[in-house]
Structure 1
Amino acid sequence: MERFIETLMYRSRWLLAPIYLGLSLAVLALGIMFFRELFHLIVEIPTIAEANMVLMVLSLIDLAMVGGLLVMVMMSGYENFVSQLDIAEDEEKLNWLGKMDSSSLKAKIAASIVAISSIHLLKVFMGVKNYDDMQLMWYVLIHMTFVASAFAMGYLDKITKH
């Protein structure tokens, strides 16, 4: 009975495979959104104000970073929790594949979240006249919470490795 339960638990990791595959559909959705925003930017170039152009470019950067985060989570998560990726020798392989354990994945996710939050906060600051002081305070506090969390996770990871 124990062997059966252990085998069942071990094989249940494959239930995660459709979830990681679903993340690839989210990357596709982000790609569609990215090119839609890029099209809007190109169409509006002759008439757009500089500040609005910067905001649109920041939105593109934001989408690209979220896409990169999704790919990293999708591929590393699959490799760490489901199965090793079998990539042919003649095919290009990302240098971080097979090297990122769950601890380093968490650190990269935290750093990505801080970067994405920074971009969002910069967009808020560029449109500062559209926000009251209380809203600005909350944006900064939330961002600082992300920063502190990333530092805390990095510090905890460092002390547990030594």
Structure 2
Amino acid sequence: MAQDSGLKKFENFFEGFMFWSRWVQAPLYTGLIMASFLYLFKFFQELYHLWQHTISWDDNQMMLGILALVDVSMVMNLVVMVTIGGYSIFTSRIDVDSHEDKPLWLEDLDAGQLKIKLSTSLASISGVQLLKTFINYREAIQKEDSEAVIIEIVIHMVFIVSAFLLALTEKTTHSYKHGHAAAIKFADEEDEKEGH
């Protein structure tokens, strides 16, 4: 009996230690926040570069400069999603339910939905990169670099298909869970009727 009690204490300690180990991720999220500040500097560097060449650049070069800013912004959105979403799902709940500025994407966020949001963000970033390549397509052909354009299209399609398959999987799993819960509720209601 004492041996069982000792094993139970060790089990409780080990489970508590495993549960505490989720905090190991906290420094990673802190690092991502610091990287966000570095990327903010990169954004303003790109903006300054764009401002310097506003008069000398043609339409295509200007569009590429603006797309570079959009690209930085979308990567920043991705970092924010990973930081806040990952922390609130895997480390500790962030109590912002009553906060007036709570982002809509945090509503009922779980690991499956976070994966879908991340994969669609990656597809969007890949789309911006592809658009930049298409704008430079003439130069790419002159450099006989058309194979690189095809590779970028394939990568972009992989991101889109991955996002679609993740969304389909999540929808199927979600509908199964709701269907199973509804079936249990219906069975409970039937049991109550029979009991009366």
Deviation at 1:98, TM superposition (A): 5.5
Moved more, 84-93 or 144-153: 84-93
Instruction: Please give the TM-score of this superposition, normalised by the length of structure 2.
Output: 0.78
Q: Does 1:101 align with 2:110?
A: yes
Instruction: Give the distance between the partners of 1:156 and 1:95, measured in 2 at CA.
Output: 22
Where in structure 2 are the equivalents of 1:50-89 lying within 5 Å? 50-87=59-96
- Measure how far apart 1:2 and its partner are: 1.1
In 2, are the aligned partners of 1:113 and 1:146 still within 8 Å (CA)? Answer: yes
Q: Secondary structure at the match of 1:96?
A: helix
How many residues align? The count is 162
Structure with bigger helix share is 2
- Match among 4, 9, 29 for residue 20 of structure 1: 29
| Root-mean-square deviation over aligned CA pairs | 1.6
Partner of 1:161: 174
Report the TM-score when normalising by structure 1: 0.93
Q: Aligned-pair distance for 1:129?
A: 2.5
Query: What is the distance in 2 between the residues matched to 1:98 and 1:55?
Result: 35
Amino acid in structure 1 at the alignment position of 2:91:
V
1:76/1:98 contact within 8 Å kept: no
Question: How far does residue 107 in structure 1 lie from its aligned partner after superposition?
Answer: 0.6
8 A Cα contact 1:76 1:100, kept in partner: yes
Q: Which residue of 2 aligns with 1:145?
A: 158
Larger radius of gyration: 2
Q: CA separation of 1:67/1:45 partners in 2, compared to 1, >3 Å: closer, same or farther?
A: same
Q: Given residue 116 of structure 2, which amino acid in structure 1 is its aligned partner?
A: A
Q: Percent identity?
A: 37
Once the 2 structures are TM-superposed, how far is the Cα of residue 62 of structure 1 from its aligned partner?
A: 0.6
Structure 1 gap segments, 5+ residues each = none
